[in-house]
Amino acid sequence: MSITVEALLRQGYRGEVRNADVNPLLLGWIHTNCKTLSRGQTIDGADIAGLLAGLFDRLNVSDVSGPEGEAVCISKARVIRVHSYKYSSSPPRTIQIPVMGDGADSNPSVLVYELPSISFADLWEQLFFEPDIKPMLLRFVSSLLLFSERGVSLDRVSWNRIVLLHGSAGSGKTSLCRALAQKIAVRSFSKFSRVKLVEVNTRTLMSRFLGDGSRLVDGVFDWILEQARTAPDQFFCIMMDEVESIAASRKAAAAANEPADAIRVVNSLLTSLDKLKGCRNILILATSNLLGTIDEAFLDRVDLCQHASLSYDYKMACIFRDLCPDLPSSKLLAIAEKAHGLSGRALKRIPLLMHVSSSDDEFVSLSSALSAMCQVVDQEREAVQSIAEA
């Protein structure tokens, strides 16, 4: 049985914190002060006395192998992993990548976040999927980091460092990519000097000029490769949202007599990905809601293809509980059943729409809040249905 504890350092703390010094002390504190731990449990940093006093904002028990919700006796845990981290509050930077060429109409751009970023604080915890999805992604990432760290040769075990999340619109794919990158940063805080999330704007890779698209793709990926090679102590999570726009099936393009440029873009992407796979400090996170339109050679390079779906009522109830913690669970579950078929995005706007639909500035009673919620869910479902029928 293993337990993972993520320890958020106090933002205002100015001193130098070395994980190698702090983590063993924290582990000692946990052994002395905690008899049991359970997943999701939070320990307030103010409760930590002694040498570590004033250092932490909070500890979060993020993973416990074993049955969900069960408290684990720490004396029985085979491994307790501790990760101390601090948020970066720097805003993301947009970088225009200069691409040489005659017809270049505009430079492609990427958005770079320093991780762990305050912008994605608690994002992982606020996303609800089938119980297996998030642990599976974490296991994949730890195996990938371990294989890279141990220098496992690509000749023996071949992998391409690509995760693809697919699912319907608003199911949480983009958010899950960002949250996963943030998790990587938290858990490898001591291994890399910096972790960055590079969001590639796939739309800026499509050019108005014939033949220019593949040059833009080459330009962006050459830039990424250079970043990764010149900073081997940093880790780069490369996010390609809506990847179908640059990885569309070449077969379909050829059959539809589409310009050869679309095919060249995919060729460039595939060769660039092959160059990146040798970089130990890169992970590519792609999303799509049109899996069927993606080129099969791209899909073949994907190491983990994960469906991000919100199909069970219980996850909707989790989202509702997160949004409206004061409403009784049984009622929320009943409303969640009504909300079947709505996307995560639609569910998240329900509190706002509830407020809009109420005549008062605030809800006066629980029952009026619940009936407003039911009404809004009905309206949202009708809207979805009319879009589907249009």
Q: How far is the CB of 269 from Mg ion (least distance, A)?
A: 19
Q: Which 318-357 residues touch ligand ATP, going by CB under 6 A?
A: 319, 344-345, 348
Q: Is 179 an interacting residue with respect to ligand ATP (CB under 6 A)?
A: no
Round to whole Å and give the CA distance between 339 and 207.
40
Q: Where are the alpha helices (DSSP H) in the chain?
A: 19-33, 133-149, 173-187, 213-230, 250-255, 260-276, 296-301, 313-323, 329-338, 344-348, 350-357, 366-389
- Closest listed residue to residue 238, CA positions, set 271, 202, 262: 202
Q: Which is nearer to ligand ATP, 44 or 122 (CB)?
A: 122
Choose the stretch contacting ligand ATP; rule: CB under 6 A; options: 59-67, 94-102, 126-134, 243-251.
126-134
Q: How far is the CB of 113 from Mg ion (least distance, A)?
A: 16
Q: In degrees, to the nearest 5, what angle opens at C-alpha 80 toward C-alphas 76 and 84?
A: 155
Q: Is 286 an interacting residue with respect to ligand ATP (CB under 6 A)?
A: no
- Closest listed residue to residue 88, CA positions, set 61, 54, 120, 66: 120
Round to whole Å and give the CA distance between 81 and 246.
39
Q: How far is the CB of 170 from ligand ATP (least distance, A)?
A: 5
Per partner kind, with CB cut-offs from 5 to 8 A, the member of Mg ion, ligand ATP, none near residue 65 is none
User: Tokens 């869910």 appear where?
Assistant: 377
Selected binder of ligand ATP within 36, 65, 107, 174 (CB under 6 A): 174
Q: Which is nearer to ligand ATP, 175 or 281 (CB)?
A: 175
Q: How far is the CB of 206 from ligand ATP (least distance, A)?
A: 17
Which residues, at least 6 apart from 100, have a Cβ–Cβ distance to it below 8 Å?
Answer: 219
Q: φ and ψ at 167, to 5 degrees? A: 165, 180
Per partner kind, with CB cut-offs from 5 to 8 A, the member of Mg ion, ligand ATP, none near residue 272 is none
Q: How far is the CB of 345 from ligand ATP (least distance, A)?
A: 4
Can you give the binding site for ligand ATP, defined by CB under 6 A?
126-129, 169-175, 287, 289, 310, 319, 344-345, 348
